[in-house]
Amino acid sequence: MVDVTVRGAGIFGLSIAWTCARRGAKVQVVDPFGPGAGSSGGLVGALAPHVPENWNAKKAFQFESLIMAEPFWTQVEATGGVSPGYARLGRLQPITDARGLELARAREKTAAELWQGRADWRVMATDQIGAWCPPSPTGFVILDTLSARMHPRRACAALVAALAVMGIDIVPGAPDKGQVVHATGLAGLQELSTAFGKTVGNGVKGQAALLRFDAGVAPQIFADAVHIVPHADGTLAIGSTSERDYEDPTSTDTALDDVLDRAMRAVPLLHGAEVIERWAGVRPRSKSRAPMLGVHPFHKGQFIANGGFKIGFGMAPKIAEVMADLILEGHDTIPADFLPRASL
């Protein structure tokens, strides 16, 4: 007997399968291309918040998801024995000018209120941080203690291992059984666009690189619009480009070289580090730019979880929770902005 069929074994499908299985559902996961074959098979893994101001449903949802991430990934690792490389080590951001410094200081106050004392947004002098601190024109950086890192590809492997322990394998094909959720990323958005005869979502290509550089348990850095993410295994990820127009979804080119140059300028310590992998993937972006969750717009009686765009890994624990609430219990807690109609 199967209670839930999950179509798609990216971070959305795997997380939903895991949460449903933990609640006692019998789950099957179907992906003709295998787990992590889509945008979830990458290397960056910055789980980072939006700025703490102008609070809205998306920011509140993301905040809760980032707080949920630690117990979520701890449980996954404890079950399957594979580490996703998760650690909440925070993030440093150089402050480039006086206006940025003023804003950052104002956000210290809004973060104290909006993040409910569960994480901080602090302005600190660079000499308070140590050698890992990126140079900053003002002499100050923002340190937020909410950001975490994990290794996307390993996070998928960790979920696959945990699901296997629960008797769930990822299979290339199987008929629908029980409740069905479509977490098929870009393919799912293209299917919707075809069905509705208009663009409901699209793909945004991203290129990223992995360096051999052991920063230890250092916070990630966001500088000059580049994520610099030290991983647990002595590597360091740098990303990403953001390309609406592309021909080859998996190639890397000089746009990635530019991202690498910006990272080296932002963190001179990285000069000379060996680039051990260059990778590209296509982020599934809904028209509304928000995750697309809920009842599927045309597969009658079925569900959809899509549109992770740039923050799919950060959102996954909370998305899995609200989708399991809906699929297993008929309990709908999905913010209105995330319903498919927001993009139709």
Ligand X SMILES: Cc1cc2nc3c(=O)[nH]c(=O)nc-3n(C[C@H](O)[C@H](O)[C@H](O)COP(=O)(O)OP(=O)(O)OC[C@H]3O[C@@H](n4cnc5c(N)ncnc54)[C@H](O)[C@@H]3O)c2cc1C
Sites of contact with ligand X (CB under 6 A): 7-13, 30-33, 37-40, 42, 44-47, 152, 183-187, 206, 208, 227, 239-240, 281, 283-284, 306, 308-314
CB of 223 to ligand X, least distance (A): 15
Q: Which is nearer to ligand X, 39 or 343 (CB)?
A: 39
Query: What CA–CA distance (Å, rounded) separates 307 from 304?
Result: 10
Q: Which is nearer to ligand X, 10 or 100 (CB)?
A: 10
Q: Which is nearer to ligand X, 7 or 318 (CB)?
A: 7
CB of 93 to ligand X, least distance (A): 15
CB of 106 to ligand X, least distance (A): 26
Q: Which is nearer to ligand X, 128 or 250 (CB)?
A: 250
CB of 150 to ligand X, least distance (A): 9
CB of 138 to ligand X, least distance (A): 26
Q: Which is nearer to ligand X, 173 or 330 (CB)?
A: 173
> CA torsion sign, 208 to 214 to 218 to 223?
negative
The answer to whether 46 and 219 have CB atoms below 8 angstroms apart is: no
The answer to whether 46 and 37 have CB atoms below 8 angstroms apart is: no
CA dihedral angle for residue 25, residue 26, residue 32, residue 37, rounded to 10 degrees: 40
Cis, bond preceding 240 (omega within 30 deg of 0): yes
The token pair that represents 182 in the structure block = 């479509």
Helices and strands: H and E segment counts in the chain: 7, 16
Query: What CA–CA distance (Å, rounded) separates 51 from 257?
Result: 28
